[in-house]
Amino acid sequence: MKFVKMSRKFWFVILLFLGLFGMLFISTYLYITDSSNRDKNFNISVIVYGNNSDRWATLKHGIDQGAADYGAQVTFVTMTDENDDKEQKRLLKREIDNGADGIIIAATDSNAMADAVANAALTLPVVLVETNIAGVTGLDYIAADNYSMGLNIGRSVILNSKEYQKVAVLMENRQRNSVSERFDGFMDSLKYSDYRIDLWEREESDSDLPQFIQDKLKTTGANIVVALDDSTLEAVIDALKTYDVTAEVYGIGSTNKIIHYLDYGLIQSIVFQNEFNMGYLSVQELFKDSKDKVNKYSETEIEFRTINRETMYLPKNQRLIFPIIQ
C-alpha cells in the first residue's frame, strides 16, 4: 500500500514537471516567433495631400508609434503642391517602385486618384485615411464620420451666434469626399434656421486664398466664416491677421496654428478628429492585411470632438489636442 502511494506521488510530480516544461517551451516559442515577426523589415510609405507637414503632425505621431510597436520602417511623403493629383500618382508609383510593403494614403482627389489606388491595391496592402476613394471597394478606410463633423460645426454656429446673420462657407477642396460630406452635414444642420448662407467659391484668377477671403468679407457683409478643412481654416486666420477685416470663425481642423488661434480667441469653435488613433490603426490594419496576403475591407470610425476656448483644456480634450506631449 505504501509503495502504491509513493508511485502515485512520483507520477504526479513527473506529470507536473512535464506540464511546466511544456508551458515554458510554448511560451518561449511564441516569444521568439513574435520577436521575429516584429523585427521583420516592413516598409510603410505614407502619402498625404498638401505641402504642410504640420498639418499631419498628429497623424504621423500615431503612425510612428504603431511602426515602433510592430517593427516597421516609415517613409512619410508630402506633396510640393496642395492639390495636384498627378503629383500624388507619381509619388504613389515611386514608393511602390522603391519597395514599399504597404501604403497609407490620404488622397488629394477622391475621383482622380481612384484608378491609381485600385491598381496599387492589386500588389500590396493599402489603407485609406481621412478621405475615401470613389468607386473603389475592398480597402481599409479609417476616418471620423465626416457628415457628423459638418453637422457639429453647424450646431456650434447655431449655439454661439445670432440668427439672421450671413454665414459664408468656403467651397475649398470639395474634390475630396471628406470635405464634400462635411459640407452636406453643415448645410443640413442649418436647413431650418434663419441664417443667410453665402457660398464662396474661387475663380481660377483668385490664386491667393487669404486675399480672396478679405475681398469677400468687404464686399458681401458676411458676419460668420466657416472652413471645412485645415488648410482653408488656416487661410481664414491669415486673412484676419493680415487685413483689416473681422468675422466670427468656425471650422474643422487642429493644426498647431489653429489651436493657437482658438486659444487666442480668433476662432470661436472647431471640430477635430483623433488623428493619432487614425495613424496608429492604419499601421495595425496594414499588418493584418500583410499577414493575410490580401486587402480586406474594413471601415473604422474614429472619434471626433467639438471644442471652444473654454473647453479646450478639459483633460478629455487635452489628450486629443496635444497627444505628442501626453
Looking at residue 33, its pLDDT comes to 45
99 with 119: CB under 8 angstroms?
Answer: no
The three-class DSSP label of residue 301 is strand
State pLDDT tens for residues 196-207: 999 999 998 998
- What is the average pLDDT value for the chain, to the nearest integer? 88
Domain layout of the chain by residue ranges: 42-144+274-303, 146-272
Cell of 257: 496654428
pLDDT at 131 over 50: yes
Report how far residue 7's alpha carbon sits from residue 1's, in angstroms, rounded to the nearest whole number.
10
Averaged pLDDT for residues 278-294: 83
- Which has the closest alpha carbon to 275: 309, 304, 249? 304
Cell of 147: 457628415
pLDDT at 1 over 80: no
Q: Domain 146-272 carries which CATH code? A: 3.40.50.2300
Report how far residue 171's alpha carbon sits from residue 26's, in angstroms, rounded to the nearest whole number.
59
State pLDDT tens for residues 34-56: 544 454 589 999 999 998 888 99
pTM: 0.85
Position 22 confidence tier, pLDDT thresholds 50, 70, 90:
low
Position 16 confidence tier, pLDDT thresholds 50, 70, 90:
low
Query: What is the domain class of 42-144+274-303 according to CATH?
Result: alpha beta
Domains 42-144+274-303 and 146-272 equal at CATH topology level: yes
